[in-house]
Amino acid sequence: MPERVYTRFDDDDVPSSKPSKPSVTSDKPPAPSQGKKRKRGELQSNPAPEKKASKLLADHASCAKTQQNSGNINGVSRSGPPQQNGIPRNGPGRDDKNGHGHGHGQHGQHGHLSKKREILLPLRKALPIWPHAEEIKAGLRGSKDVMLLTGETGSGKSTQVPQFLLDEPWCKGCIAITQPRRVAAISLARRVAEEMGSLLGSLSPASKVGYSVRFDNSTSPNTRIKFLTEGMLLQEMLRDPWLNQYSAVIVDEVHERSVNVDLLLGFLRNLVTGDKKGRNGKPLKVVIMSATADIESLFKFFDEGFQKSLNTCQKAKGDHTQTNGANDSDSSWSGIASSEDENSKKALTKKSKPNGVGKSNGERSLKRKENPSISPEPIDLTSDFMYTCYIEGRQYPVKIMYLPEPTQDFVEAALKSIFQIHYKEPLPGDILVFLTGQDTVEALERLVNEYALGMDTNVPKLLALPLFAALPQSAQQRIFHPSPPKTRKIILSTNIAETSVTVPGVRYVIDSGKVKIKQFRNRLGLDSLLVKPVSQSAAIQRKGRAGREAPGVCYRLYTEKDFVGLEKRTVPEILRCDLSGSLLTMKARGVDDIFSFPFLDRPPREALEKALLQLLQLGALTETGGISEVGLQLAKLPLTPTLGRVIVEAAKPERDCLLEIIDIIACLSVENIFLNLITEEKKEAAEEARRELYRREGDHMTLLTTVQAYAKENSDRKSWAERHFISHRAMQNVMDIRKQLRQQCTHLKLLHPSKIPLKESPAAPSEAQTNAILHSLLRGFAANTARLMPDGSYRTMLGNQTVAIHPASVMFGRKVEAIVFSEFVFTNKSYARGVSGVQLGWVGDVLGSMG
DNA sequence: GAGCACTGC
């Protein structure tokens, strides 16, 4: 009875039980429409010659049913179809942060620069955000220090907002704008420099736009707009906690909710609602840019900060004057808000009850929650200190198709959908498939290629392109090449395409509805990497990838009911990661009481306590919970506290193996340097080629040997890496980090400059050195130790859990009395990765010394 | 016998 049929849910991503208007749903077949409707059997009219293919298509044909193509569109339609203003794809301000859209070099001459600026100006003026310039400027004047801004994809917010604010009277200093990713920071800076007719960063002392990311700082004395990664701004706050060089901080892509952005928001709230005494009276304006759905919680977050500050201020006043009514809220308003104009004064008097405004807006926005994808109606979330602004985006409508029945095998379901789309839909229109990981990507790639062989010759060709982070850069670049003639590209991707990489040419998205997600388990102290259902917001994000260039279709490989049952939001990273690094960051920036730090989402007390305990065990905190000398050193290292602690240990005179440890740590802080090989043939070849690098002491000494051998190779490192089946890109990263860590350690007086060899030392480490290295590792990873049990398994020293040595380890299959490991991950079972053999007595010593 | 995605003076 249940026909396998894609059903379409019109219009809204989050269906409510009673749709506000009639829509095509799963229980009623759509009314036939005159236009593009295709017959059911149409797929069969193109029978594939090969049996497999024809079987597949026949299967799918019976379930393929196209829905009427109503003019109803999903997403933002208010501003009409995009690109009507002659704006090219990837044109100005379209949030193209891959750096592929406009890779112009610098034009050396002033004339060129201003000409470029003139050319770009009309394109800027056509952006959806342009008409809001005055509103945005006005929104931050007077007592209003915080602006919440939602701008959908393609609104131009990342490029235009800093330029709007630049000439405001309060803006005497620099504007910082943060990005979650390096490429985004750099390509946005390049774009804005062009728009302003300025050279980029350090290219000229006069340049007004720069950027700052790890390993790459490009600013000038005259930089007014600086794009930086979130981590970079946090790092700057270590030196300059009041952010004195900035007049404004713009935090972009807040909805991605990285750990760093959460910390940043907490610090910024404290700054902007605090006494600002370190800023010598200079104002600091904060702009938060995020998805519409987050605005309410962000508003509450900052509003709470302002309320608290009012209460504190008022209490202080009460204490001083010894007079009335500490709870009389009205009397306190004028105390803190030194309003600069009549309007804000009026606003002050209007707001009689602290919660009044927020509440009514809360009710209104609840309505929106049911339909988050409709055209945003402005919600009037305003306070005396905040302004909320909505910018429509440029997004084409995307139809959604659901499976009528859940599927167990999303790879097979994706395969069927790919061929269904390919046979049904005319070119152009590439297909983007969201899968969980390298394994499913490669499995589907093989299947697509296999079935494509059986396609009729008059059917367009298929080109399957895998996309995942571990893929070499050159292979990743293939997705940007235009399709060959009469060919449809099928991009098989992990969630890298959700945020990090924008694939051009996509009109069809197939969403497996699954994602591999990392979760830190406090009690066990280990990371889990598990396949889980995506959240609704992630599903919406994936769907949106189909509507970047033309109207599109999103095939969800789950039912509409499944979608309704999904979590609304992806759990923010800060609630599912090890917090020790974050807490160290906070302690180093003067947050004494981490339990009162303003978290947008507060991690459970247990997680905070666990992290504090870990920092204590590393010696990063004093007995009283203050930060120690070691802790300050760790906070300055671009490493996790654990890895940092290994560095500090290795610098001790009795260990004296810092350079070696730096090489190892550099490897541990990049992705796997050893390439994953698929065919048996290559695996064997790699085994053979790497034999000279393998060390029986374990993975850490193997990494050291590898770095030393690579560094020693002066002629052609790339071919050396290829010969040894080692990722050259990862090794370049390792060398960058090695350099940075050496510098850092010199600054921290852990390393004397005279110790850095001018030439790469070829000497293999002695046994004494090896022991020193392993002891240093043990100091940081004391909790990651296990002993061999009589039955041949390993059990952790703390917690007595079973761990298996990961198959990729050189220690795999070996039995030694004890092991130390730098990574502990749960996938199918608990695995130790990065394993070295150690003496049981050493482990006892280090555990004993920690108490 | 196995590898989501980012990021740091």
d(CA A116, CA A195): 7
Helices A641-650, A580-588: axis angle to 10 degrees equals 70
3-state SS class at A40 = helix
Q: Which nucleotide is nearest to A529 (CA to C1')?
A: B4
Q: Of A186, A139, A138, A135, give the one whose Cα is nearest residue A158.
A: A186
For position A509, what pLDDT does the model report? 95
Backbone angles phi, psi at A110, to 5 degrees: -60, -40
Q: Which residue is nearest to nucleotide B4 (CA to C1')?
A: A516
Q: What is the pLDDT of residues A307-327, one digit of tens each?
A: 888 887 777 666 554 433 333
Q: What nucleotides of chain B have any atom within 7 angstroms of a protein Cβ?
A: 1-9
β-pair type (A430-434, A506-511): parallel
For position A97, what pLDDT does the model report? 52
Q: Which residue is nearest to nucleotide B5 (CA to C1')?
A: A496
d(CA A100, CA A526): 37
A330 touches strand B (CB under 7 A): no
* Sheet architecture: strand order including A216-218: A216-218, A209-213, A225-229, A174-179, A246-251, A285-289, A146-151, A386-391
Q: Of A440, A482, A599, A529, give the one whose Cα is nearest residue A833.
A: A529
Number of helices and strands in chain A (H, E): 28, 22
- Give me the CA A622–C1' B3 separation in Å, rounded: 38
The beta-strand segments (E) located in A265-415 are 285-289, 386-391, 398-402
Dihedral (C-alpha) A351, A352, A358, A361: value to the nearest 10 degrees?
-70
A116 touches strand B (CB under 7 A): no
- Give me the CA A165–C1' B4 separation in Å, rounded: 37
Q: Which residue is nearest to nucleotide B2 (CA to C1')?
A: A807
A58 token code pair:
């026949």
Residue showing tokens 């090794």: A731
- Give me the CA A697–C1' B8 separation in Å, rounded: 30
For chain A, the straight-line distance linking the first and the last C-alpha, in angstroms and rounded, comes to 67
DSSP string across A119-138:
HHHHHHHTSTTGGGHHHHHH
How many beta carbons lie within 10 A of that of residue A500, not counting itself?
Answer: 15
Q: Which nucleotide is nearest to A640 (CA to C1')?
A: B8
For position A685, what pLDDT does the model report? 86
A660 token code pair:
């070696």
Contact A358, A303 (CB under 8 A): yes
Percent of chain A at pLDDT exceeding 90: 48
For position A518, what pLDDT does the model report? 85
Contacts of A377 (CB under 8 A, 6+ apart): A368
Q: Which of residues 437-476 of A touch strand B (CB under 7 A)?
A: 437-439, 468-470
Q: Which of residues 575-594 of A touch strand B (CB under 7 A)?
A: 581
A675 token code pair:
């390439």
A851 token code pair:
């108490």
- Give me the CA A329–C1' B6 separation in Å, rounded: 43
Residue A88 sits at the vertex; the CA angle it makes with A86 and A94, to the nearest 5 degrees, is 115
- Give me the CA A261–C1' B7 separation in Å, rounded: 11
pLDDT at A697 over 90: yes
Q: What is the pLDDT of residues A71-99, one digit of tens each?
A: 222 322 223 333 333 333 333 344 445 54
Q: Of A712, A721, A717, A723, give the one whose Cα is nearest residue A663.
A: A712
pLDDT at A759 over 60: yes
- Give me the CA A676–C1' B2 separation in Å, rounded: 9
A233 touches strand B (CB under 7 A): no
pLDDT at A217 over 80: yes
Burial category of A752 from C-beta neighbours within 10 Å (exposed 0-12, middle 13-18, buried 19 and up): exposed
Q: Which nucleotide is nearest to A185 (CA to C1')?
A: B7
pLDDT at A13 over 90: no
Contact A241, A170 (CB under 8 A): no
d(CA A558, CA A117): 48
**Between residues A525 and A210, which one has the greater pLDDT?**
A210
Distances (CA, A) of A814 to A635, A806, A822, A851: 36, 11, 17, 30
Contact A818, A827 (CB under 8 A): no
Q: Which nucleotide is nearest to A808 (CA to C1')?
A: B2
Q: What is the pLDDT of residues A27-82, one digit of tens each?
A: 333 333 333 333 333 333 333 334 444 444 433 333 332 333 332 223 222 233 33
Backbone angles phi, psi at A26, to 5 degrees: -70, -25
3-state SS class at A787 = strand
Q: What is the pLDDT of residues A556-574, one digit of tens each?
A: 999 999 999 999 888 899 9
Q: Of A650, A623, A622, A618, give the one whose Cα is nearest residue A634.
A: A618
Residue showing tokens 């006005």: A138
Q: Which of residues 504-543 of A touch strand B (CB under 7 A)?
A: 515-518, 529
d(CA A675, CA A624): 46
Contact A702, A693 (CB under 8 A): yes
Please enumerate, as own/partner, the contacts of A354-360 that have beta carbons within 8 Å and a separation of 24 or more: A354/A307, A354/A310, A354/A329, A357/A381, A357/A382, A357/A383, A358/A299, A358/A300, A358/A303, A358/A383
What Rg value do the Cα atoms of chain A yield, rounded? Answer: 29
d(CA A228, CA A212): 5
For the ranges A11-20, A625-634, A683-692, which has the lowest average pLDDT? A11-20
Q: Which residue is nearest to nucleotide B8 (CA to C1')?
A: A638
For position A38, what pLDDT does the model report? 35
For residue A24, name the pLDDT band (cuts at 50, 70, 90): very low
Query: How would you classify residue A787: left for phi > 0, otherwise alpha for psi between -120 and 50, otherwise beta?
Result: beta
A464, containing H or E segment: strand A461-467
Contact A557, A413 (CB under 8 A): yes
Q: In the predicted model, what is the mean pLDDT of chain A?
A: 79
Contacts of A570 (CB under 8 A, 6+ apart): A257, A517, A534, A535, A537, A538
How far does CA A797 lie from the centroid of its chain? 34
Backbone angles phi, psi at A120, to 5 degrees: -80, -25
Q: What integer is the mean pLDDT of A692-703?
A: 93
Contact A793, A816 (CB under 8 A): no
3-state SS class at A529 = strand
How many beta carbons lie within 10 A of that of residue A26, not counting itself?
Answer: 17
